[in-house]
Structure 1
């Protein structure tokens, strides 16, 4: 049964770090969110589409993109389906769902994720973020996706 990210009990320190990704976004605390990334962190989007940046490089770029994405979102809830600690203590996989309101359009964004986190010194060095790009396109086209909107200017 899925559990809200802020109520999920982590079994390992690595899972606890990965869960912070979701809980801090739910809280809208992007200053604390910035602190869970290494300076040279990368977020990859393997299932991208034309108009979506394939990878964000460096903590500043990653956090700036989240600030832009979450500037006008509300009712953000992440639920966790499962958390997998691999045999490598610095590699965690989280299965999750995210739901929020996109206030520019009134649409509800509802997507499923598989996120692979590679950690270094207790911080996120890599987030390989898998999601359904069709849901993202439908919800954000013309709002956050379009010419010049998906890349850092």
Structure 2
């Protein structure tokens, strides 16, 4: 018998389903108004911090036009001593829309969810993988 999930885990899993469904407006609705998304490894010229839901929405608006996600075949969610915070290890696979090339990226994220909304999301993705894929994930291919 598996252990019950936490509200943070449930929200995160729901967010992944929304990304696979390409429902970016519903994904953005999972954010607290003052939620913060950070990209600690973002290369120069790319956003390192998005300060609120509106900034997250602008960042993600064209995501499905560039990345066609098919699955998250490897997903591990780790609980922390803070019941609102989880650490996520995952792999996203799909294809790049413009080129048709495969998309395969591994992520680690530290996510805090309060009252069913993301309040903090630190996304540790590889900038080298982004450069190799030929996309910047913010609305324009390179």
Task: Give the TM-score taking structure 1 as reference length.
Answer: 0.80
For structure 1, the 5+ residue unaligned runs are 1-8
Q: Cα RMSD over matched residues?
A: 2.3
User: Aligned partners of 1:97 and 1:129: how far apart in 2?
Assistant: 12
User: Aligned partners of 1:93 and 1:105: how far apart in 2?
Assistant: 32
Q: Pick the aligned partner of 1:91 from 64, 85, 91.
A: 85
1:39 deviates by 0.6
User: Aligned partners of 2:121 and 2:93: how far apart in 1?
Assistant: 19
Q: Is the 8 A contact 1:115 1:127 kept in 2?
A: yes
2:127 paired residue number: 133
Moved over 4 A (4+): none
Q: Is the 8 A contact 1:109 1:136 kept in 2?
A: no
1:55 deviates by 1.1
1:17 paired residue number: 11
For structure 2, the 5+ residue unaligned runs are none
- Residue 81 in structure 1 maps to residue 92 in structure 2: no
Aligned length: 139
User: Aligned partners of 1:10 and 1:130: how far apart in 2?
Assistant: 27
- Residue 51 in structure 1 maps to residue 45 in structure 2: yes
Q: Pick the aligned partner of 2:31 from 33, 37, 40.
A: 37
1:149 deviates by 4.9
Q: Is the 8 A contact 1:137 1:145 kept in 2?
A: no
